[in-house]
Amino acid sequence: MDVLGIDACGKQGWTGIRLTDGAYAGSLVDVRLDALIGRAAGVEAIAVDMPLGLVETGWRAADLEARVLLRVRRSSVFLVPPRPAWLEPDYVAAGDRCHELTGRRLSRQVWALAPKLLEARACWLADHRIHEVHPEVSFRALAGGVPLAYPKKTWRGQNVRRDLLAAAGLVLPDELGEADRIPVDDVLDAAAAAWSAHRIALGIARRIPEVPEVDAEGRVIEIRY
């Protein structure tokens, strides 16, 4: 059983970690998400670290609940603006629209996600194998329900995350191939996404929230892990 976990990685585009029966089976990097997915022929589940389902007004229950669960790592979960805000042409207009629909403006950091969020959302709407995940939620599950104490960009944080993956049978080799030049935190996030994709394919993955909201396109809005 093959699955794929994907994380956005700046100018390089997207990086993917492929698993076969839960074990590392290679890495992929591509500037376009649909191209990367197309190269991973035959995978049963695809987990992407990017907001996919969007509400029409207010904040997503998935993000609010994930923040509560992650405690010290809560800042890693962005509050995702409603769908109409992402359709605006620029940051100012998107901020106005977000304020209208939520009572708060969106940050520039969140608005910077727009190109990749919309790219990922288009893939999600076209392919029912794709699921939204959040690496810190996955790492919390790998750690027995305890949020990780160290951020993912720190030496200790990266070693803890790699050890947690290895303990679950996902051993990342020193040489990854295509992903060798990708930042370590992005590789670890893609690997955590792959771990969740494997659980999704097995039918044992959990979801946030337990009762998901529904996107305007009829897809459920949830974070799987």
Q: What one-letter code names the amino acid at 127?
A: D
Q: Residues of the chain with pLDDT > 90: what percent?
A: 100
| Residue 148 confidence (pLDDT) | 97
What pTM did the predictor assign?
Answer: 0.96
pLDDT one-digit tens code per residue, 117-170 = 999 999 999 999 999 999 999 999 999 999 999 999 999 999 999 999 999 999
Label residue 62 by pLDDT band (50, 70, 90).
Answer: very high
| Residue 11 confidence (pLDDT) | 93
Q: Is the peptide bond before 151 cis (omega within 30 degrees of 0)?
A: no
pLDDT one-digit tens code per residue, 6-29 = 999 999 999 999 999 999 999 999
* Domain 2-52+124-224: which CATH number of 3.30.420, 3.40.50, 3.30.200, 2.20.25: 3.30.420
CA dihedral 75, 218, 30, 16 (to 10 degrees): 60
32-55 mean pLDDT:
97
| b (16+ CB within 10 A) / e for 132-162 | bbbbbbbbbbbbeeebbeeebeeeebbebbb
45-73 mean pLDDT:
98
Coil/strand/helix, residue 6: strand
DSSP 151-179: -TTSHHHHHHHHHHHHHTT-PPPS--SGG
pLDDT one-digit tens code per residue, 174-185 = 999 999 999 999
Structure tokens at 11: 């100018």
Determine contact, residues 220/60, Cβ cutoff 8 Å.
Answer: no
30-47 mean pLDDT:
97
Label residue 215 by pLDDT band (50, 70, 90).
Answer: very high
